[in-house]
Structure 1
Amino acid sequence: MNIRGISADTLSLLLIMGQESHPREFAALLSTEEGVIRNVDIIPGTIGGSASASVLFEMIPLNVGYIGSAHSHPSGAIRPSEADLAFFSRTGSCHIIVGHPYGQDDWRCFHADGTSIELEVIPDE
């Protein structure tokens, strides 16, 4: 899948989700429209904790076309942990981490192996 970027509104939503769930983590799955990340889904049964968030994989709908995940790091560390890498490997190829204090520059995108991806923020019309 060729991912062109993330919509500005979707990025703002992820940063707000981080703020609203702080000091707990949130986790969600992402999908695209025409190569742009525009959809954020919280899977039923997802639990956000102070050190991690867990997703019930058996609750993920089939054939939705998720391309990756998003979650928060209340600590502000915007890099994947070993647990994140294990999660990434099960949920797609494009993963966004938002970190405290959840400002416009407090996020990064990663491949499933943890290498950084430059992701363009695409203005919404």
Structure 2
Amino acid sequence: MAIRGISRDLLMMLFELGKEHHPNEFVAVLRERSGIIQDLDLVPGTIVGEESASFFIDMLPLDIHQAGSAHSHPNGVLSPSPADLRFFPTVGRYHIIVGYPYGERDWRGYRADGHPARLEVVG
């Protein structure tokens, strides 16, 4: 199923996670229902720091509704880093980056290949 958008509630939760973890990054796995990214999983054993966040792929939950990932860039840069571009294809099709100061416009969506993805904010 094609993903049409992301729920406003989840996007607000991503901004809050960014604020809570600042100045460190956070990373989460996104899940979709009915073509809308609506949920997230925080993966056990996640390692966070000021310049990266990572987890072991083996720790991902088995879920056919896995859509991709979300993570923060505390430096406010909303474009994917080279490490992000290597990571994206391992987790799913759509990836969200939220950045400091974590306001409503401080996010971007990307496809697994690193190209921008337009995701409608729903709800």
CA drift at 1:120? 0.4
Q: 1:53 maps to what in 2?
A: 53
Question: In 1, Cα distance between the equivalents of 2:34 and 2:43?
Answer: 22
The CA RMSD measured in Å over matched residues stands at 0.9
Separation in 1 of the partners of 2:15 and 2:62? 27
- Structure 2 residue matching 1:69: 3-state secondary structure: strand
Letter in 2 for 1:103: G
Cα distance between partner residues in 2 of 1:24 and 1:58: 23
Q: Which consecutive unaligned segments of at least 5 residues does structure 2 have?
A: none
With the length of structure 1 as denominator, give the TM-score of the two structures.
Answer: 0.95
Taking the aligned partners of 1:40 and 1:63, their CA distance within structure 2 comes to: 11
Q: How many pairs does the alignment contain?
A: 123
1:113 corresponds to which letter in structure 2? D
2:8/2:121 contact within 8 Å kept: yes
Q: Deviations over 1:62-111 (max 9, x none)?
A: 23431100000000000001100111010011000000000000000001
Residue 78 of structure 2 corresponds to 78
Cα deviation for residue 33 of structure 1 reads: 1.0
Structure 1 match to 2:6? 6
Q: Which residue of 2 aligns with 1:24?
A: 24
TM-score by length of 2: 0.97
What amino acid is the match of 1:67? Answer: A
**Is contact 2:33–2:65 with CA below 8 Å preserved after alignment?**
no
The whole-number CA distance in structure 1 between the counterparts of 2:98 and 2:63 is 26
Q: Is the 8 A contact 2:78 2:98 kept in 1?
A: yes
For 2:74, the aligned partner's letter is P
Counterpart residue identity of residue 91, structure 2: T
